[in-house]
Amino acid sequence: MVGESVASYSSVLLMFGFACAVMAPALLVSRMISPENKKQPNPVKTLPMECGQVPSGAGRTHFMMQYYAYVLMFVIFDVMAIFLYAWGSSLLDLPRTATLPIIAFLGIMFAAMAFALYQSKRKDIW
Amino acid sequence: MSVIAPKFRLGYFLKGIFDNAFWILTIVTLAGIPAIQIVLFYLELPVIDGELLTAFLAFTWLFNPTMQVPLIKALIYSDLFRIAAFPGFGFAALIAAGTIFVERKMLAKLQLRVGPFYCGKIEGILQLAGDGLKLISKEIIIPAKADKPLFWAAPVLFVGTAAAFVALIPVAPGGWVVADLDVGLLAVFAVIGFFPIITILSAWSANSKFPFIGGIRALHQMVSFEIPLILSLLGVVILTGTLNLSEIVESQSSFPWIIFMPIGAIVFFTTMLAELERIPFDLPEAESEIVAGWLTEFSGMMYGLVQLGSYLKLYAFAALFVIIFLGGWTGPVFWPPLDTELITEGIPIPNYAGDPILTVAAPGLPLLDKDPNEWVMQEQGGLVYTSGQLLVSGVIWFVLKTVGVIFFILLPRGVFPRIRLDMLLHIGWYKLIGLSFVNIFIALGLVYAGVIGPGGIL
């Protein structure tokens, strides 16, 4: 039972593995037939791309994480969206009163989201 | 300037060919054939007419006219064929390659250019093959201090994840899908969720500033458009009551859902453009600001693999739109139903070979039906068709609709400018989420007003 339902997912993994197994040799073949001077490697060639300038500083710099509040809201709303699927896919079998708690749930989430968006705009924290 | 053959002599050339042939024969004999034997031991081989099909029997039957059709069928209905060729990788890669060529030509026509023109006699039709050869013969340059394992793995993982997305797409009636899951739609969301991770990993591993900025932008964009993407499909799930993609297609045999859910379709199309990083949402690859975004450090075949993956993803998204809103493979069957006797018994040819008494019947070959010897008849719309007829008709409808959707995905690239990052996030969070909730309430209204659903009008 459990094994059967898990086995149907294995073809997704097989497809993933097939694509990797077919495409990885392309990189190997490219490596084999492409011209490369291994005896005298050119250090300038492997510099990170910075429009022809000599790169300054580290590549993985500290980066200002803009729009941080959106990312925080995503964590909440992604879970909420998947919850709604559990309800939506069985809606036709449920009694009609079961819709009311979901509407209340949506109301709470919407109020929270509206408050977050309003506050972030008012305090200008994007 | 490097010269391919500095001292060309016919003798060297022939020696090279003989050397290669010698080594190929040696390696195949010593390693290839034992490897095939070992692999065959673990494979589940099909049984045809009561005989186990081994590789040697297959070679024998290949030249036996009475066994060729069962042999081909056993091949078509094997898992490997599904994964490698028809609903899986080969089919999707073919459409992806066509998309790349059509995009270049169409964009050129929109901008009053000619596009690829000289490679191949007709309208540069061999341009893709030429580009492929160019990419595979270029050197792969890896930036200094890059995280090498991650940097090598990222393009391959990208193609693999796009292929896993393709695996969930049903193409034709009768279970022509690589993975027919009960929760197909949720599996689609799960696979989509992997793309930002691969993007940010490849961007981080390159140890360069432009890929890093592009990767962060891609992360923001994919993350903030994932919620409207998920919510815009909820309306259809409410009306059909299933998450299986094949059942969603079969529920649209009378009318496609886009008639009732135009808002959901528009929201899904917009989020699709954002997830695919296409104009007007191509901030992660904005070529006029950050050289090529997270693709900046990819060179040679690595770039080719990322492009292949992104066009596979484009095909999969267009196919998902067709499946959910445009009715997938449903559509009128292209040919009239034939008489059952005509199909199974064949066409009687009187007066065969000048003999007035002899009558020969030539039955058709049930090539596309599952059973090697019997025809499978299916009813659709009160008429009886063979399942092979329905399969071909369904695939043609599916491809036609998918190509139409792909055209509308490609079109904005020649029409719209790129928008700002804050505008993009504003659209995603304020407008699209609101519209997708409007869509959900339309679906609820249709169910509770008694239009659709158990005991409904339609």
Chain-centroid distance of CA B373 in Å reads 31
Q: What is the pLDDT of residue B272?
A: 92
Are B368 and B311 within 8 A, CB to CB? no
Rounded CA gap, B279 and B277, in Å? 7
Query: What backbone phi and psi angles, to 5 degrees, belong to B336?
Result: -70, 155
Contacts of A22 in chain B (CB under 8 A): 89
Q: Which of residues 14-43 of A touch B (CB under 8 A)?
A: 14-20, 22-24, 26-27, 29-31, 33-36, 43
The helix (run of H) or strand (run of E) holding residue B385 is strand B383-386
Q: Taking CA atoms, what residue in B is nearest to A32?
A: B137
Rounded CA gap, B150 and B141, in Å? 14
CA distance A45 to chain B (A): 8
Q: What is the pLDDT of residue B1?
A: 45
* CB contact set of A112 (below 8 Å; sequence gap of 6+): A76
Query: pLDDT 10s per residue in chain B (458 long)?
Result: 455 556 678 888 899 899 999 999 999 999 988 888 888 777 777 777 777 777 778 888 888 877 777 777 777 877 888 888 888 889 999 999 999 999 999 989 888 988 888 887 788 888 888 888 888 888 888 888 888 888 999 999 999 999 999 999 999 887 788 888 888 888 999 999 899 899 988 888 888 888 888 888 888 888 788 888 998 999 899 888 888 898 889 888 888 889 888 999 999 999 999 888 888 888 878 777 788 888 888 888 899 999 999 999 999 999 999 999 998 888 888 877 777 667 666 667 666 666 666 666 666 666 666 665 566 677 776 677 777 778 888 899 999 999 999 999 999 888 888 888 778 877 888 888 889 889 988 988 888 887 777 766 66
User: Hey, what are B207's tokens?
Assistant: 């140890």
Q: What length does chain A have?
A: 126
Question: How many beta-carbon pairs under 8 angstroms link A with B?
Answer: 206
Calculate the alpha carbon distances from B33 to A68, B25, B39 in Å.
58, 11, 10
> DSSP string of A54-114?
PP-S-SS------SHHHHHHHHHHHHHHHHHHHHHTTGGGS-GGGHHHHHHHHHHHHHHHH
Chain-centroid distance of CA A8 in Å reads 24
Are B302 and B155 within 8 A, CB to CB? yes
Q: Taking CA atoms, what residue in B is nearest to A90?
A: B241
What is the radius of gyration, based on Cα positions, of chain A?
A: 26
8 Å CB contact of A26 and B210: no
Calculate the alpha carbon distances from B294 to A74, B22, B277, B306 in Å.
22, 45, 11, 11
Statement: residue A23 has pLDDT above 50: yes
User: Hey, what are B378's tokens?
Assistant: 């299916």
DSSP 8-state symbol, B86:
S
Contacts of A47 in chain B (CB under 8 A): 143-144
For B207, half-sphere exposure in the C-beta direction (CA atoms, 13 angstrom radius) is 17
Of the candidates B137, B168, B191, the beta carbon closest to that of A33 is on B137
Q: Taking CA atoms, what residue in A is nearest to B305?
A: A23
Contacts of A84 in chain B (CB under 8 A): 231, 234, 440
* CB contact set of B79 (below 8 Å; sequence gap of 6+): A11, A14
8 Å CB contact of A85 and B186: yes
Contacts of A73 in chain B (CB under 8 A): 429
CA distance B337 to chain A (A): 34
A101 CB neighbour count, 10 Å cutoff: 10
Nearest by Cα to A82 from B270, B258, B194, B229: B229
Interface test with A, best of B147, B220, B243 (most A CBs within 10 A): B220
Q: Are strands B360-362 and B377-380 parallel, antiparallel or unpaired?
A: unpaired
Q: What is the pLDDT of residue B358?
A: 65
For helices B209-232 and B262-275, give the axis angle rounded to 10 degrees.
Answer: 160
The helix (run of H) or strand (run of E) holding residue B348 is strand B347-349
Single-letter amino acid, residue B252: Q
Calculate the alpha carbon distances from B383 to B329, B338, B340, B344, B390 in Å.
17, 10, 11, 17, 11
Q: What sign results for the dihedral spanned by CA atoms B369, B371, B372, B375?
A: negative
Is the peptide bond preceding residue B280 cis, with omega within 30 degrees of 0?
yes
Is residue A114 less than 8 Å (CB to CB) from chain B? no
8 Å CB contact of A49 and B182: no
8 Å CB contact of B152 and A117: no
Taking residues A40-60, what's their average pLDDT? 77
Contacts of A66 in chain B (CB under 8 A): 421
Statement: residue A99 has pLDDT above 90: no
8 Å CB contact of A15 and B161: no
Contacts of B189 in chain A (CB under 8 A): 82
Work out the burial of residue B190: count CB atoms within 10 Å of its CB; fewer than 13 is exposed, 13-18 middle, 19 or more buried: middle
Compute, in degrees rounded to 10, the torsion defined by CA atoms B85, B88, B89, B90: 30
8 Å CB contact of B208 and A50: yes
* CB contact set of B3 (below 8 Å; sequence gap of 6+): none
- Residue ranges of domains in chain A: 2-33, 68-123
This prediction has a pTM of: 0.86
CA distance A103 to chain B (A): 10
8 Å CB contact of A18 and B89: yes
User: Hey, what are B309's tokens?
Assistant: 């993956």
Q: What is the pLDDT of residue B401?
A: 93
CA distance B362 to chain A (A): 39
Rounded CA gap, B143 and A49, in Å? 8
Contacts of A14 in chain B (CB under 8 A): 79, 83, 178
8 Å CB contact of A67 and B421: yes
8 Å CB contact of A30 and B163: no
SS3 (DSSP) at B176: strand
SS3 (DSSP) at B235: helix
Calculate the alpha carbon distances from B321 to B264, B266, B333, B334 in Å.
11, 10, 21, 23
8 Å CB contact of A20 and B160: yes
Rounded CA gap, B69 and B372, in Å? 7
User: Hey, what are B414's tokens?
Assistant: 């020649």
Are B456 and B252 within 8 A, CB to CB? no
